[in-house]
Structure 1
Amino acid sequence: MSTSDQRWFHRRGDLARDGWESVVDENTPGWAHTGIRVADLTATDSLALAPAGVERIVVPLSGSFTVAYFEGADTTTTRLKGRASVFDGPTDVLYLSSAATAVLTGVGRVAIATSPTDVVKPSVHIPASDTPVELRGAGRSSRQVHNFGTPQALDAARLIVCEVITPAENWSSYPPHKHDEHVPGHESRLEEIYYFETAPVAGSDAAAETAFGMFSTYSSPAGEIDINAMVRTGDIALVPFGYHGPAVAAPGYDLYYLNVMAGPDPEREWLISDDPAHAWVRDTWAGQSVDERLPHTNDSNDKEGDR
């Protein structure tokens, strides 16, 4: 791995705090608008989601969870059915308003996307069946995007959240792009977190810990950044500015990442600018088909075998 600043890339466990495997929030140096918490829970564990003044999306990575949340005098309990793994299609998620605090229990691995805000939007449970699934790109740039937390799917205050599955040998977050300038109608300013998971392709005998992908960022006029990293399950990249991409799934291994975005602009918009040197690649997709391995769903993975 090479980086210009060790603040922007963190191996699994480097950001452990208060019972969480990883924590990114406003206390992270150089960070202000987004956050993430990741944990593995057993049947005897519980984790508090507090204080108020932070909107959250609870994303089961593997396993099932119960969230008891409190808004004023009201208490609501929501069961998240979850999924076997991040490579088994969409999961149900829970958006928690900035007026809520909560307690999380269950068995499995979970991510909490966060953003500080005083704006209060209604809490909402989003079933997996209601998650917009997008097949983006074509050919070896094919990937699957679950848009449960984008502006078109969720009425949040600041958070923009989605997850991406990239099959083995494919490229995603490509062409390299940025969102670090406020150009109305063209580009928005958004901090971005990449949380990664990797796994051997279905049916492989490879050990889970051998799975990896690659991720890169580089500088833009907004700031200097340089990440060229081999990524594995639990690793986190922070993108405060600059061009980011590609994220590449190595042969033999599938790649997943959860994107968490928010920024200082008055509008909640996800507007990007491609690196002009590589933007032409999008035009080549017109003559290619989407990778036949997509979409990844619970049904297709059941047919292929367990991970």
Structure 2
Amino acid sequence: MESKRSKYVLISLTVFCVLLIGLTSIHDEWLAPLRTGVGYLLIPVQSGVNSVGSSIYDELTDLAKLRNAQKENEEMKDLITQLTEENTRLQANELELNRLRKLYALDQQYGQYEKVGARVIANDSGNWFQVFRIDKGSKDGIAVDMNVVAGGGLVGIVTDVGANYATVRSIIDDSSRVSSMAMQSGDSCIVAGDLTLFKEGRLRITNVLKESDLKDGDKIVTSNISSVFLPGLLVGYAADITNDTNNVTKSGYLIPAAEFDSLQEVLVITKLKADMMKEESSSAPQPEPASAESAAQ
């Protein structure tokens, strides 16, 4: 059955080929109408096929462009992220460099004292660094009552020490009192901590004699009579000095030299005022003992 069907298919194809050969051998005048009819039939179809093909090709091209654009967009986003991170790091490095330069200048300013650099690692509360902790302790030579400076001037004093940390009470703390004096005139005063007042960027200056020559803009430094603060450390600048109502003393305000809202690095002066006083006492000339003759007299 299958062999007969194959024979029929072969015969049909043979006849079709013979007809095609015969048609091609007929004169063009006979084929012209056929070509025309076929043209009318095929040209619209061909145009439609070309139009659809072009449309599909354009869509595929646009899709490829879109995918390329999306890929480039993702690459650009990654690049922008990397550049942003790098820019942030550079800005942070620049800020740190500026802070370290200020510390170096401060180190040179007080070159007569040995110092240890430290980073601020915590503060007790609030926005101000009235009490804070640093990452250096007794193993680094830090001891209680050592003076701390940063940002151009006095910051505070060490109040507690562990092996790897130390606690600093700053001069803006309510309990802080710093014996000070005017650098220009030598007139003594007290710089009192006041957190409420410091919100205005100022501290209070008290105990100034009325006859003193202390005036606005004078540099205020730690005095020689302080029991814990080393002499000559810049505390800040006098402002709004006026006579008190008792008509005996003056008072006013101090603009601190250090910035207490952004402390990150500090210098701890490893020289203690108590040790300095002992050295001065031992180096002072001692009176000669009285002779027996004079003692008898």
Larger proportion of helix: 2
Place the TM-score, normalised by the shorter chain, in its bin: under 0.3
Larger proportion of strand: 1
Higher relative contact order (CA 8 A, sep 6+): 1
The higher radius of gyration belongs to 2
> What TM-score, normalized to structure 1?
0.22
> What TM-score, normalized to structure 2?
0.23
